[in-house]
Amino acid sequence: MVYYFITGTSSGIGLALTQQLLGQKDAYVIGYSRRNAINHSRYKHIEVDFSQPGSAREVEIPEYRNAKHIVLINNAGILGDVKPIGKIDNELLEKTFMVNTISPAILTNRLLSAYLPISDSIIVINISSGAARHAVESWSGYCASKAAIDMFSMVLHAEQQLIDNRKVRVISVAPGIVDTPMQDSVRQVDPSYFPQSERFHQYKQKGLLAPSEQVAKKIVELIGNPPNDPIIDLRTI
């Protein structure tokens, strides 16, 4: 059995990923989000709000003593408040880093601590963004919180290069522009706060958004054949 710990399983990419993985008979998925959308004999849902301080420290990480192969997919993410710096809601800014950076970092730390001594392989997939790698006006919290998870992944990758029989692989994946509720929320932002608003409306109108099922399929393929480079843009593969 391969044990998949996936955050943000209730919609978009995380939901599509979970549905595809549950199609594999040797997959067991532990999913984390505030809502649950999946009912399956090999799915365990854990309700959690990662925007709350302490949530990632305290949330249950079930320990399966027979688990030889573990995959953690830090997928839960929020766009946060889309406004120029100086006008951002401070509470939302804090929540953006809680969900996009602090929770995935703590979950990775806890999962490695629990499973390194007993498992043969651990793959960590952090769902990043193209916005981690170039600046988007009014997305400072989102861009910076995703850039931080890219660097967290690069440090874990560098640490693993020092280990002869390394068990851990890590990939920080920018999924492209994907047709999910997050993109719906991008198009709902007041254009007076968001200079690139029209570009995102055009993506939808011109049918340029990738379906979440297609993106999930590519991520499943990455898990099966993890690349050496820890920073990946799914649009290039």
Ligand X SMILES: NC(=O)c1ccc[n+]([C@@H]2O[C@H](COP(=O)([O-])OP(=O)(O)OC[C@H]3O[C@@H](n4cnc5c(N)ncnc54)[C@H](OP(=O)(O)O)[C@@H]3O)[C@@H](O)[C@H]2O)c1
SS3 content of the chain, % helix, strand, coil (to 5): 40, 20, 40
For the CB of residue 90, give the shortest distance to ligand X in the complex, in Å: 17
C-beta of residue 125 within 8 angstroms of C-beta of residue 218? no
Residue 147 C-beta: closest distance to ligand X, Å: 12
> 99 or 189: whose CB is closer to ligand X?
99
The burial class, CB within 10 Å (0-12 / 13-18 / 19+), for 193 is middle
Q: Which is nearer to ligand X, 42 or 204 (CB)?
A: 204
> Shortest CA distance to 196 belongs to which of 128, 135, 144?
135
- Minimum gap (Å) between residue 49 Cβ and ligand X: 5
Give 21 or 119: the residue with its C-beta nearer to ligand X.
Answer: 21
Q: Where are the alpha helices (DSSP H) in the chain?
A: 12-21, 55-58, 90-97, 103-115, 140-161, 181-187, 197-205, 212-224
Q: Which of 164, 198 has the CB closer to ligand X?
A: 198
**Residue number, 180 or 197, with CB nearest to ligand X:** 180
Least distance (Å) between residue 218 CB and ligand X? 13
CA distances from 119 to 22, 24, 32, 108 (A): 21, 20, 21, 15
Going by C-alpha positions, the residue among 166, 39, 145, 30 that lies closest to residue 99 is 145
- State the minimum distance, in angstroms, from the CB of residue 113 to ligand X: 21
Smallest separation (angstroms) from ligand X to the CB of 108: 14
Q: Which residues are bridge partners to 69 per DSSP?
A: 2, 121
| CA 213 from centroid of its chain's CA atoms | 15
Nearer to ligand X, 12 or 119 (CB): 12
Residues that bind ligand X (CB under 6 A): 8-14, 33-35, 48-51, 75-78, 99, 127, 129, 175, 177-178, 180-183
Q: With beta carbons less than 8 A apart as the criterion, state whether 179 and 212 touch.
A: yes
Whole-number minimum distance, CB 126 to ligand X, in Å? 9
Exposure of 149 by Cβ count < 10 A (0-12 exposed, 13-18 middle, 19+ buried)? buried
Identify which of residues 98 and 168 has a Cβ nearer to ligand X in the complex: 98
